[in-house]
Amino acid sequence: MDSVINRLRLVRNPARTKDIVVTRALGLILFCCLALIPAWTGAWAKTVTAKSPDKNITLTVSDRDGFLTYTVRFDDEVLVSPSRLGLLFKDHHGFDRDLKITQVKRTQADNTWEQPWGERQFVRDHHRELTLDVTSMAGPARMMRLRFRLFNDGIGFRYEVPDQDHFGAVDLIDERTQFVVPSAGTAWSIPTRGWNRYEYHYDTTPVGDLTSVHTPMTFRTPSGIHAAIHEAALVDYSAMSLKPVRPGVLKADLSPWSDGILVKTQTPFQTPWRTIQISRAATGLLNSDLILNLNEPNALGDVSWVETGKYAGIWWAMHVRDRSWGNDTIHGATTEETKRYMDFAAENDFIGVLVEGWNIGWDGDWFNNGDLFSFTKSYPDFDIETIADYGAQKNVRLIGHHETSGDVTNYENQLDDALTLYAENGVRAVKTGYVADGGGIERIDENGIRQYEWHDGQFMVDHHLKVVREAAKHKIAVNPHEPVKDTGLRRTYPNWVSREGARGSEYDAWAVPPNKPEHTAILPFTRMLSGPMDYTPGIFDLTPNERAPLRKDMLRNSVESRIQTTLAKQLALYVVIYSPIQMVADLPENYAKHADAFQFIKDVPADWSDSVAINGEVGDFVTFARKDRNSNHWYVGTLTDENARSISIPLDFLDSGKTYRAELYRDGPDAHWKTNPYAITIEDRMVTARDTLTLPLGASGGAAIRLVPVEAKPAVN
């Protein structure tokens, strides 16, 4: 009734009616304007593009609607669909929305740098760089910088937060980085946040079925593009895993501190590079130097004291239960046993002997009692000074070992004394260990309270770098097992020579199941993209748990634990799985039984002037050729999964016009990892760069080749 009365009043008052009509018209215009604001925002958004030097990769970055996104195309195909970027902090305004690109800078570089050791001596760094200043348009004034580098083999990008008002110490609680990739693709991955760190069999799944996974995570799109997501230069930050938000939408997932904070830092700071290696062929990933190129140059100066080569060790005997780590009647780390291994190393020109179990702390439940380890006190039957003197006479160094059982505070408290002891006894490399079979990595905080941290959280990232830097002061190289993953820091700290970070040969001694035949056909395309691995190859007794124990009271591991390769495949691993320090892992007496095959291990180097991935498919097979840094010899390794196959190896990497003697160690007739693993054919052939070798490989088989130039005979008058 009231509304009717009001309408009547309007009719009786024309002037009032006119005012209301105008007001309504203005309101309609205002409503339309407000409705168009999102469209305006999109219309005025800044979109920036950049291309790789060869123009095959196109990056697009946008601030549309106040959200930062990036897109990556390869060969005109979308590889990464629009993916969010941003950082969030606990007590500070972050960079998530209301963002605007305010400045764009472009640079480029093309230079070559030299590695003191590596897969190749000289590395080309050819990239275009796009740097974006990003400002928040709401809340306190603040800005960050996004830096992208585009290479022909992929892209890297990172966040940089400069010193500015409203910032100081910051607690990062979320990194919003996404990777939106085709969900129908195929992925190869291992799970993250597990008790066993990185030591899992790789899963082959659709991208859309991924759970939380470690990086490098490799995938192939339905059209056949290969790509791997990882990170470079992981310093003062937490390691990144990938967590699926929706099928194909992967988000950066950082390992948290025990209190839930992801990263504790202060401005100015920068994140590690987020990397995407890209190639049409799977081998393109293997030939990529992107991770190394995104790290800083050598920070140590002269590192000529870093020694590459092969080493033996008192190690495998404990895994197959011939010896023990603890100080009992079958203790492995004795003075006399170490001398025996040093004799073996000297006879075969190996650089050193690793000794595990020499120091106090191995007795009892050492898995859970890392605080009992002493890193300067040895068992009574191990005399480090006598051993060091004996090794010096043989030109063989003692290689040190520090197992922490994850008690990092105990180790850091003794670190300087431990490294000093090694330096005084001529040790030039130390293998560290972080088994941490309890609740995680242990530390004592500033209040004396025991805390447990993830093996790849910021605490351990900082710890590993501390050990590497301290070791460098003593001219000692570091080879951590149970490590944080590799991100190319060996370029900056060349004494960080290798690491584990995946299932190695030890799993063939006692794991059920042991490493699968496909395992070493997956590793080059996944774990090995990050850097060298101390896989510890060269096992010649392929059924170690089927022979009788040395003593009646000794226990053998399950017979299901065995080496699921042929003998020739063990030789191929020295070329395929790269490390500048390669272990000759089996017992000396087992090599004596196969002296002809052992010759390849004696010959193959561990440092290269060049490396080329010739062919391969993820999880199926792979072939590498590498050139010795100290001669004109080339070496080839090829291996297959559980399927026997014929491999063709073009030799066009050889010098044109030269003849080479190819010394072949290949699977023999009917070779099969399970039924006929020792079948091996050793032969010589004369070849040139115009030739192609076609080699039959048995199930989980392989072949290793040494190519030696043949000097031309002088002409006879």
Q: How long, in residues, is the chain?
A: 717
CA 198 to chain centre: 10
Residue 513 main-chain phi, psi, to 5 deg: -85, 160
The answer to whether the CB of 687 falls within 8 A of the CB of 693 is yes
d(CA 372, CA 106): 55
**Residue written as tokens 């050793």?**
682
Residue 455's closest CA among 89, 174, 199? 199
Supply 556's token pair: 């053998």
Supply 515's token pair: 């490493």
Torsion of CA 239, 241, 245, 248, to 10 degrees: 130
Question: In 329-377, which ranges are E strands?
Answer: 352-355
| Residue 175 a catalytic site member | no
Residue 380's closest CA among 324, 323, 335? 335
Q: Are strands 645-650 and 660-667 parallel, antiparallel or unpaired?
A: unpaired
DSSP string, 248-268: TEEEEEEPPPTTS-SEEEESS
Q: Which of 119, 506, 518, 663 is catalytic?
A: 506
Supply 569's token pair: 């495949």
Half-sphere CA count of 581, side-chain side, radius 13 A: 26
DSSP string, 45-58: --EEEEE-TTS-EE
The answer to whether the CB of 698 falls within 8 A of the CB of 671 is yes
d(CA 222, CA 226): 10
| 155 SS3 class | strand
Torsion of CA 22, 23, 24, 26, to 10 degrees: 90
Supply 548's token pair: 């009788």
Q: Are strands 397-403 and 429-433 parallel, antiparallel or unpaired?
A: parallel
d(CA 122, CA 115): 6
| Side chain identity at residue 118, one-letter code | G
Residue 394's closest CA among 359, 426, 417? 426
CB burial class (10 A; 0-12, 13-18, 19+) of residue 173?
middle
Q: Are strands 309-314 and 352-355 parallel, antiparallel or unpaired?
A: parallel
d(CA 560, CA 239): 35
The answer to whether the CB of 263 falls within 8 A of the CB of 254 is yes
Contacts of 647 (CB under 8 A, 6+ apart): 615, 621, 623, 638, 640, 694, 695, 697, 703
**Residue written as tokens 């020499």?**
358
Residue 95's closest CA among 131, 53, 140? 140
d(CA 664, CA 655): 19
Where is 529: in which H helix or E strand? none
Longest CA–CA span in the chain (Å) reads: 130
Torsion of CA 25, 31, 32, 36, to 10 degrees: 160
Query: Which residues are catalytic, by number?
Result: 506
